[in-house]
Amino acid sequence: MSVALFTHPAALAHDTGEGHPECADRVRAVLRALDTQEFANLLREVAPLAPVESLRPAHRQAHIDAILALPADEVTYIDGDTVFSPGSLEAALRGAGGACAAVDAVMEGWAKAAFVAMRPPGHHAERERAMGFCLFNNAAVAAFHARARWGLKRIAVVDFDVHHGNGTQDIFWDDAELFYGSSHQFPCYPGTGRAAETGVAGNVVNAPLPPGSGPDAFRAAWSARILPALAAFKPELLIISAGFDAHAADPLAQLRLKEADFAWITRELLAMADTHCPGRVVSLLEGGYDLTALAASAAAHVRVLMRP
> What positions carry a catalytic annotation?
124
Cis before 86? omega within 30: no
Q: 49 phi and psi, to 5 degrees?
A: -70, 135
Cβ proximity to Zn ion: between 175 and 250 the closer is 250
**What CA–CA distance (Å, rounded) separates 251 from 182?**
20
Cβ proximity to Zn ion: between 208 and 243 the closer is 243
Per-residue contact string for residues 44-63; x = within reach of Zn ion by CB under 5 A: --------------------
Cβ proximity to Zn ion: between 97 and 193 the closer is 193
Q: What is the nearest approach in angstroms of Zn ion to the Cβ of residue 44?
A: 26
Cβ proximity to Zn ion: between 45 and 126 the closer is 126
Cβ proximity to Zn ion: between 236 and 245 the closer is 245
Is residue 287 within the footprint of Zn ion (CB under 5 A)?
yes
Is residue 184 within the footprint of Zn ion (CB under 5 A)?
no
Q: What is the nearest approach in angstroms of Zn ion to the Cβ of residue 138?
A: 14
**Among 235, 62, 53, residue whose Cα is nearest residue 149:** 53
Total residues in contact with Zn ion, by rule CB under 5 A: 5
Cβ proximity to Zn ion: between 12 and 134 the closer is 134
**What CA–CA distance (Å, rounded) separates 130 from 52?**
16
Q: What is the nearest approach in angstroms of Zn ion to the Cβ of residue 287?
A: 3
Single out the residue of 145, 243, 259, 276 in contact with Zn ion (rule: CB under 5 A): 243
Residue 274 CB partners (closer than 8 Å, separation 6+): none
Residue 175 CB partners (closer than 8 Å, separation 6+): 200, 203
**Among 216, 290, 307, 306, residue whose Cα is nearest residue 253:** 290
**What CA–CA distance (Å, rounded) separates 96 from 48?**
8
Contact set for Zn ion, span 138-167 (CB under 5 A): 161, 163
Half-sphere exposure of 254 (CA within 13 A, CB side): 9
Q: Distances from the Cα of 128 to the Cαs of 57, 60, 166, 254, 266, in angstroms?
A: 12, 6, 12, 29, 31
**Among 150, 164, 173, residue whose Cα is nearest residue 282:** 150
Cβ proximity to Zn ion: between 167 and 287 the closer is 287
Q: What is the nearest approach in angstroms of Zn ion to the Cβ of residue 163?
A: 4
Cis before 120? omega within 30: yes
Is residue 301 within the footprint of Zn ion (CB under 5 A)?
no
Q: What is the nearest approach in angstroms of Zn ion to the Cβ of residue 240?
A: 14
Q: What is the nearest approach in angstroms of Zn ion to the Cβ of residue 245?
A: 4
Is residue 245 within the footprint of Zn ion (CB under 5 A)?
yes
Half-sphere exposure of 255 (CA within 13 A, CB side): 30
Q: What is the nearest approach in angstroms of Zn ion to the Cβ of residue 293?
A: 13
Is residue 124 within the footprint of Zn ion (CB under 5 A)?
no
- Piece of 70-78, 150-158, 219-227, 284-292 that binds Zn ion (CB under 5 A): 284-292
The string of DSSP codes covering 53-92 is GGGTTTS-HHHHHHHHTS-SSS-EESSSS-EE-TTHHHHH
**Among 12, 15, 30, 13, residue whose Cα is nearest residue 295:** 30
Q: By beta-carbon distance, which residue lies closest to Zn ion?
A: 287
Q: What are the residues binding Zn ion (CB under 5 A)? A: 161, 163, 243, 245, 287
